[in-house]
Amino acid sequence: MSAQKELDQHETSRPVAADERPIQVLDEDGNLLPNAAMPDLSPDELVSMYEDIKLARRFDQRAISIQRQGRIATYAPMTGQEGAQVATSYALDDHDWLFPTYREHAAKHVHGVPLASLLKPLRGLREGYAVPDGVNVMPEYIPIATQVPQAMGMAWGHKLQGKTDHAVLCHLGDGATSEGDFHEGLNFAGVFDVPAVFVCNNNQWAISVPRERQTASETIAQKAQAYGIESVRVDGLDPLAMYQVTNEALNKAKNPSGGECRPTLIEAVLYRYGAHTTADDPSVYRDGDEADEWKDKDPLDRLQKFLYKEGLLDEHIEAEMDERIESKISDAITEAERAESDPNQIFEYVYDEMPDRLREQRDELDALREKYGDDPFNGVLE
Ligand SMILES: Cc1ncc(C[n+]2csc(CCOP(=O)(O)OP(=O)(O)O)c2C)c(N)n1
Residue boundaries of the structural domains of the chain: 14-338, 343-372
Q: How much is the pLDDT for 137?
A: 97
State the distance from the centre of ligand 1 to the C-alpha of 48, rounded, in angstroms. 31
pLDDT in tens, 319-346: 999 999 999 999 999 999 999 888 888 8
Q: Which pLDDT score is estimated for 379?
A: 64
Which pLDDT does position 150 carry in this prediction?
A: 98
Task: Tell me how far the alpha carbon of residue 61 lies from the centroid of ligand 1, in angstroms.
Answer: 22
Give 299: exposed, middle or buried? Use CB within 10 Å, 0-12, 13-18, 19+. Answer: buried
Is 272 noted as a catalytic residue in this protein?
yes
What's the CATH code, domain 14-338? 3.40.50.970
Ligand 1 centroid – CA 277 distance (Å): 11
- Mean pLDDT value across residues 45-67: 98
For residues 122 and 336, give the distance between their C-alpha atoms in angstroms, rounded to a whole number.
9
What is the Cα–Cα distance from 43 to 126, expressed in whole angstroms? 38
Distance CA 308, CA 40 (A): 19
Q: Is the pLDDT of residue 222 over 90?
A: yes
Which amino acid residue places its CA nearest to atom 25 of ligand 1? Answer: 143
Lowest pLDDT segment from 90-104, 251-265, 266-280: 251-265
pLDDT in tens, 17-27: 445 689 999 99
Which range is least confidently modeled, 32-46, 81-95, 193-207, 336-350? 336-350
Q: What is the pLDDT of residue 6?
A: 36
Distance from residue 363's CA to the centre of ligand 1 (Å): 38
Asked whether 37 lines ligand 1 (CB < 6 A), one says no
Residue 13: band (very low, low, confident or very high) from pLDDT cuts 50, 70, 90: very low
Which listed residue (129, 285, 349, 372) is catalytic?
285
Q: Are 336 and 120 within 8 A, CB to CB?
A: yes
Question: Which band of pLDDT confidence, cut at 50, 70 and 90, is reported for residue 272?
Answer: very high
> What's the sign of the alpha-carbon dihedral 49, 73, 204, 271?
positive
Q: Which of 46, 49, 167, 170 is nearest to 104 (CA)?
A: 170
What pLDDT digit, counting tens, does each position of 155-211 carry?
Answer: 999 999 999 999 999 999 999 999 999 999 999 999 999 999 999 999 999 999 999
109 belongs to the catalytic site:
no
Q: What is the DSSP letter of 338?
A: H
Alpha-carbon distance 41 to 27, whole Å? 18
Enclosing H/E stretch for 85: helix 82-90
Report pLDDT for 378. 64
In degrees, rounded to 5, the angle at the alpha carbon of residue 45 between the alpha carbons of residues 41 and 51 is 135
Report whether 307 contacts 313 (CB < 8 A).
Answer: yes
Verify whether ligand 1 is closer than 6 Å to residue 162 (CB atom).
no
Q: Which of 158, 166, 276, 302 is catalytic?
A: 276
- CA nearest ligand 1 atom 21, residue: 173
316 is catalytic: no
Closest listed residue to residue 122, CA positions, set 170, 171, 82, 66: 66
